[in-house]
Amino acid sequence: MRASDQALPLITGGKTLADVTHDVCTPIERGPTSMWRLGMFFAVSALALGVFSIGYQIKTGIGTWGLNRTVGWGFDITNFVFWVGIGHAGTLISAVLLLFRQKWRTSINRSAEAMTIFAVICAAIFPLIHMGRPWLAYWVFPYPNYRGPLWVNFRSALLWDVFAISTYFIISLTFWYVGLIPDLATMRDRANGLRKRILGYLSFGWRGTARTWSRYETACMLLAALATPLVVSVHSVVSSDFATAVIPGWHANLFPPYFVIGAVFSGFAMVLTLMLIARKVMHFEDYITRAHLTAMCKILVFTGTIVGLAYMTELFIAWYSASNYEQFVFNNRMGGPFAWAYWTMFSCNVISPQLLWFRKVRENLVLLFILSIVINIGMWFERFVIIVTSIHRDFLPSSWSGYVPTWIEIGAMVGSFGLFFTCFLLFCRFGPTIAMFEVKSVLTRPVRDRDLKEGAQATDSSGAKALQPSASSDEREAAEQDMSIAGAGQ
Amino acid sequence: MKTPQELPEELKPAELNPVESVLLPGEATDPSRRAFLQMAGFGIASATLAGCSRAPSIIAMASPSASTALTPGVPYWVASACAGCSSSCGILARCRDGRPIKLEGNRDQLFTGGGLCSTGQAQVLSLYDAQRINGPQEQGESRTWEQADSAMRALLGAIQGKRGSVRLLTGTVTSPSTQLQIDSFLAQCGGQHIEYDALSFSASLDANEATHKTRVLPRIKLEHADVIASFGADFLGTGYSPVEHSAGWAAKRKPDSGHMSRHWQFESILTVTGGMADERHRMAPSEVLPALAGLLELLSCYSKGSEAHAPALEFVDHGAAIERMAQELWSYRGKSVVLCGGNQFKVQLLANQANELLGAYGGVLDLAKPSLQKRGDDRAAAALAKELEAGRVDLLLIAGCNPAYDRPDIAAALAGAGTIVSFADRVDETSELATWILPEPHFLESWGEAEPVHGEWVLSQPTVAPLFNGRSLRQTLATWNGDSREDRELSDDYLREVVYPQAGGGAKFEDFLALARQRGTIEAPTSRRSQPAFDAGAIRSVGELKQDESVRLVLYPKVGLQGGAHAHNPWLQELPDPVSHIVWDNYATFSSAHAEELGVEEGDLVRLSCADVDGVMELPVHIQAGQHDRVVGVALGYGRLGTDRFANLAPDWIEADAMIHPGETIGVNAAPWLAFVGGRMRTDVREVLVAKVDGHRALACTQDYHKLEVPEHLAPKGGEVRDVLQRTVLGGHVAHSAHGSAEHRAAVNLWPDDHKRPGHNWAMVVDLSVCTGCSGCVVSCQAENNVPVVGRDEVERHREMHWLRIDRYYGGDDDSLRVSHQPMMCHHCDNAPCESVCPVLATVHSSEGLNQQVYNRCVGTRYCANTCPYKVRRFNWFDYPRDDEHANHALNPDVTVRSRGVMEKCSMCAQRIQEAKSAAHREGRVVADGEIQTACQQSCPTKAIVFGDLSDPESEVSIAMGGPRHYRALEELNVRPSVGYLTEVRNVAETEATHEG
């Protein structure tokens, strides 16, 4: 990377503290934009398809999926691992980067954390509905019962999943919500009536005193410390679903680190996708700047290269193992009926991120957006390849079979994307997508004098002064008018 | 079903007395016993007894449970005779509450050895077929038997008055007492009895009549045969007594003695038998005659001591192989045999002559105690067709056959019959044309006896109160003759008058009969016909031999469905064909070279036509290994009327493909393409034109990949062979007895062996050398364990539910094909991968070494199935329809019917283990070795499956596991399976072994 990348400002446009509050809160306080409605329309349509597909499948049976006696998992667990992986970037950004005091995280951590929550929700759907009898799903919890010695099987990686995912969800949710409190208080202070009351409850009566802030920061650090091991543990546990089975292609020591790095890789790709959209749609160009994008690109190159290394290691170990079954699985991946999936995965995950070495690519937002999507597709295929190509041809040639998903299965996957984007759009509409108080801490220009001059009256509870919106840019004003016109159409 | 509390007062169980072990006929008047039997049958009766006036008066239980009192819920066994085909194997019907739920081979039956084929196993479902007719029908209108009798008497009187002709057309009549009634009825009305077999052996019978002056088939005692030369004879699969012949064949296929028979097969399409041969060569149907002529020339040269010279072999592709075979046959003369399929008279004559030269008669082929299992006469049937055409038949009685479906010449002429009376139990192709249908009962509902081989009788007795108002042909004919005896009396009187004097041995007849009914069989060891002399004068010249390059259509029966008589049985429709592993369809088979030449691929539709047959057949292509390049094979037995009943059999969901549409049939009827040539109904003489047509119909096949070698482009240099199925050759096996077993390093275990087996340690061994793939075990398992039928679409999606499947692997190329079968069921691994992955402990290990599936606990993650190295777990993808309340009576009450969303798999018949353990516990003894027979093991004609207790070092399974051929599939995974295999050994010289595991 060039040195110039390092020096890029994190926030551009000469933002004042008041600008930050205004820029983040105004879109929430105004009505929905047409862009938002359009997005919501697609998201809810996809969700509706998913609800139908899943409802039909639960009513009729797993047979409505394309699975068979040999391939017992297909799209279901692929989607599960994919969504869990997506979630990882959020935790990494909010927890690990907080601990390492990476300032560039401030603009994106809120959205990334929200993404984590929604991705984990999407992920959790699949293990639930992939059960033959999902109405008995609560049996996977070791709850006290009067069925004698009936208990869960602590040797099963699926059970570890239950604990890993639920822990992950609870910690992520807590961390995210705790992070929201000061911003909710800011929003409360700008609101009236019922909205103020609700936000008042939601922000737990935050007052923003120095003592509160001190304790708050300690709590954040503690939660970050709690969440950090989860970055490693959750996907390691998910990988154990495969690594603890005897199936060649699953049974690999490499899996925990391989899955974790893959998760970070896919998660950052998804963050990049979302940030590029949010930046455009919500006009956050000044908050999600080239500095952020560059930082994410670096992580993508780094993790993508490690993912490539993992693929090579798998191949090497298969060859080195001298096990004919291991060797066959990889030969079959590369040359068998699902070779197209393998090579899609390989080119998307190993070759495409290497383009990010080039500054021109990094700076071309369209290309960056496409690349982030490509990586997401590649990472989805990685899970598909691992799951399906390993089991569709295992030990006994008599049982080899294929796998073709049905529309019901595809519908469930589309539905999970629908759910994800519905949640995300709702969050954009009702919550502060950028952590205002954190961004304020990284503003490059002290603007207090100018703020005072413009005659602010109230004290912003988030610690900064509450300010009137400053029409520092004509461009923004025009945009604001556009938005209000769109809102007026309601 | 009613609970006992709801029963009428006189039927309360409290009033029931335990019955003694054997019920003698004289005691039939005991009212409480009668009450019991009525009650025992009430489950069926309440559902179906509406039109039924009679209940079985009494039955004798078979010996295995003779000491068990008849108690509701407690199973008992009834010995009977299978009438699934004319082989008439002895069976034991396991009954509960007055209805049969499972059929097993009768171990006391001498000629079968105690196995049972897939067709036999499936008969219990046919019994409960709701489409059977309830009582006589005249033009579709219900009538009483009295009405039917008076109408028929009037008709017979009228015909006799005008000196009209009566013809009785049947399949082979296996019951001598029925034959007596037929004879006396026809004597009275001056009619004729014509027998024909849908799967005809007429040429062989005729040849025997010519050469030995006796129109019977020989008993083939393959247990005495050291060299078997078969020209298209599928004696292990679809011959005239496959269970018997499989058992005999297997007796000489045990390599541990160091000696095996040599089995040669020359055939045009791959059969079950051909796949098992030591040497198999493809031979066009037209080559069979020159091949046999050449063989005979060679044999006579050997016998004369002259130089071997066989000009006829010039017309044969594999002349050199035939020469080698001839030498082997000759050097083992007295212990060698030539068998021929194909129903060609000349060929059978030549075969007889060869067998005479080889000294097979009296040794391997027994005409002194011959088989009586096939008696059909194609020429007589053809003559009947001529008579019908000429309108000279006033009354045609048709029983036990379906000529409108499977006999094209008669089918075309049936319109010329005056009146047709059918004895079919349903509306089928023939009875549809009949004025009267007088349904016969199912054999599991009726009394009778059969004499499948001379001097050995199999007795049948009812296992259930008649479900439908049928009457046997025997009793019907007797009634018309003015004989008022009940059906049972007719059979008993025959036994008294004919059998008892030969086999009675001094006991009172009543005692003799009671014992015989209990055993289900009677032997008259001394009853022999004289060994007929060979009449060389019967041999005619073979005529001019000529080269024939035409493409022939070969019609063949499938294991299970046979000639189509069982097309209404969903178990048999869904039984993977042992050869192709395809279900629910027939198809046109081609060799790969032939298909390439025609430019067709698997599933493409082709149109078959023939110059002298009206109509065409449109069938999907199946490319079959080991098939001759100039042959198109099509299975008989499909296209049966009314098989659209299965249109809605499969689960109904958005993407489900309908099996067929209403009005269509399962498959296509190929019987019109049979050809009556040279006085016999031939299956392999039609020249066929093949045209590719647009369209594709994917075939539902349970196996996608058919070799142990992984695809070349995915294998390392030099190829990779999966050694899950180990095979070797006899030479190698004798030299080094563990030859063929891959050398797996002894599993090193870091952990102490914590799998304690304080009591039993159940295990199973399958001898791959004698597994013919006949699939009797598959249906037996299905019947025993309530395995659902899922339909064509689900099988095509690879969701068949069979707990026991037979993996079939091809070795070698089309010209040297070697087929190996590996029955694959749950291996009950000690380190079971499935057990550790289940999050809710729904699959756990028992202290007796069984891997138990707890349906109630299963939430259906399918993780266990994914991680099972043997892929034997079966998932309930849907709630499979169980709407047919009649068919549900065949469910085994000891086995849970699984709901959707749960995993299931082979339990090693846990219910049988439990039953035997309980019995032993009650009697204060230990379970004896061999006391527990799993369903698959019981059914196996070749006794390839051994189950038992490894804790007992003397048990059969322990001994087998200690043997040199024993290996475990995927042993290197250290899952420690409880199922082992014995290496498959073929009697091939070591240099010829091309594909070893």
Q: A5 exposed, middle or buried (CB, 10 Å; 0-12, 13-18, 19+)?
A: middle
Q: In what order do the strands lie in the sheet with B336-340?
A: B279-282, B262-267, B227-231, B336-340
Residues 293-322 of chain A with CB under 8 A from chain B are: none
Contact (Cβ atoms closer than 8 angstroms) between residue B393 and residue B384: yes
Which residues on adjacent β-strands are paired with residue B113? none
What are the distances in angstroms from CA B816 to CA A365, B283, B406, B497, B812? 64, 12, 34, 54, 5
Q: Of A84, A83, A80, A87, whose CA–CA distance to A112 is shortest?
A: A87
Q: Tell me the mean pLDDT per 10 residues along chain B, length 997.
A: 38 33 35 46 41 42 47 85 90 88 88 89 91 89 90 88 88 91 88 90 90 90 92 91 92 86 92 91 90 89 84 84 90 91 88 89 88 91 90 90 91 87 91 91 90 90 87 90 87 88 80 86 80 78 78 91 90 93 92 92 91 87 92 92 86 85 86 88 89 91 91 86 86 62 56 79 93 93 93 92 94 88 93 91 91 92 93 93 84 91 93 92 91 92 92 91 88 89 85 43
User: Given an 8 Å threshold on Cβ–Cβ distance, is B839 in contact with A153?
Assistant: yes
Tell me what pLDDT residue B735 has.
63
Contact A394 B871 (CB under 8 A): yes
In angstroms, what separates the C-alpha of A432 from chain B's closest C-alpha? Answer: 39
Question: Looking at beta carbons, which residues of chain B come within 8 Å of A131?
Answer: 859-861, 901
| Nearest chain A alpha carbon to B902 | A132
Partner residue facing A331 (CB), from B714, B799, B866: B714
- Give the whole-angstrom CA distance, residue A179 versus residue A221: 11
CB A246 within 8 A of CB A163: no
Nearest of B450, B449, B428, B447 to residue B439 by alpha carbon: B428
Nearest CA in chain A to B843: A153
CB contact under 8 A, B655 and A245: no
What confidence score (pLDDT) does residue B362 get? 86
Give A224's pLDDT tier (boundaries 50, 70, 90).
confident
The pLDDT of residue B161 is 85
> In the block, which residue shows the tokens 């053809």?
B382
Nearest chain B residue to A334 by CA distance is: B714
CB nearest A327 (choices: B716, B794, B807): B716
Task: Please say if the pLDDT value at position A230 is more than 90.
Answer: no
Whole-number pLDDT of residue B96: 86
Segment 69-128 of chain A within 8 Å of chain B by CB: 69-70, 72-73, 127
Q: What pLDDT digit, counting tens, does each position of A173-194 carry?
A: 998 898 889 888 888 888 888 8
pLDDT for residue A7: 58
Length of chain A: 490
Which domains does chain B carry? 4-53 (no CATH), 137-199+377-457+469-487 (3.40.50.740), 203-371 (3.40.228.10), 552-696 (2.40.40.20), 712-986 (3.30.70.20)
- Confidence band (pLDDT; 50, 70, 90) for A280? confident
Of A134, A156, A241, Cβ closest to residue B836: A156
What pLDDT does residue A55 have? 94
CA-wise closest residue to B178 among B428, B516, B495: B495
User: What was the ipTM of the complex prediction?
Assistant: 0.86
Among B794, B870, B874, beta carbon nearest to A396:
B870
pLDDT at A461: 44
Q: Which residue of B has its CA nearest to A143?
A: B840
Task: List, as one string, the DSSP characters of B668-717.
Answer: ---GGG-EEETTEEESS--B-EEEEEEEE----BS-S--BSBPPGGGSPT
Tell me whether residues A64 and B871 touch, CB distance under 8 A.
Answer: no
B876–A131 CB contact, under 8 Å = no
**Tokens (6 digits) for B760:** 């039993």
Q: pLDDT per residue over A80-135, tens digit each?
A: 999 998 888 788 887 777 777 777 777 778 888 888 899 999 999 999 999 999 99
- Position B504 scores a pLDDT of 67
Task: Tell me what pLDDT residue B730 has.
Answer: 81
Inter-chain contacts counted by CB atoms under 8 A, chains A and B: 193
Tell me what the pLDDT averaged over chain A comes to. 83
Give the span between the Cα atoms of B408 and B387, in whole angstroms: 15
Cβ–Cβ gap B865/A246 under 8 Å:
no
Residues 157-176 of chain A with CB under 8 A from chain B are 157-159, 162
pLDDT tens digits along B828-856 = 998 899 999 999 999 999 999 999 999 99
B860 contact residues in A (CB cutoff 8 A): 62, 131-133
- pLDDT score, position A8: 64
| Interface membership of A229 toward B (CB under 8 Å) | no
DSSP state of B582: B
| Integer Rg of chain A from CA | 24
Better-predicted residue by pLDDT, A409 or A466? A409
CB contact under 8 A, A397 and B900: no
Task: Kindly determine whether residue A133 and residue B970, on different chains, have CB atoms separated by under 8 Å.
Answer: no
Q: Does the global pTM surpass 0.90?
A: no
Give the closest of B714, B875, B902 to A72, CB-based: B875
* Cβ pair A401:B704 closer than 8 A: yes
What does chain B come to in residues? 997
Q: What is the pLDDT of residues A388-440, one digit of tens each?
A: 999 999 899 999 999 999 999 999 999 999 999 999 889 888 888 888 887 77
Confidence of residue A9 (pLDDT cuts 50, 70, 90): low
Q: Do A158 and B833 touch (CB under 8 A)?
A: no
Contact B365, B393 (CB under 8 A): no
CB contact under 8 A, B840 and A241: no
CA of A43 vs chain B CAs: smallest distance (Å): 24
What is the pLDDT at residue A446? 52
Residue A149 confidence (pLDDT) above 80? no
Q: With CB atoms and an 8 Å threshold, state whether B722 touches A395.
A: yes
- The three-class DSSP label of residue B287 is helix
- Asked if B654 lies within 8 A of A241 by C-beta distance, the reply is no
Identify residue B132 by its one-letter amino acid code. R
CB spacing of B862 vs A406 below 8 angstroms: no
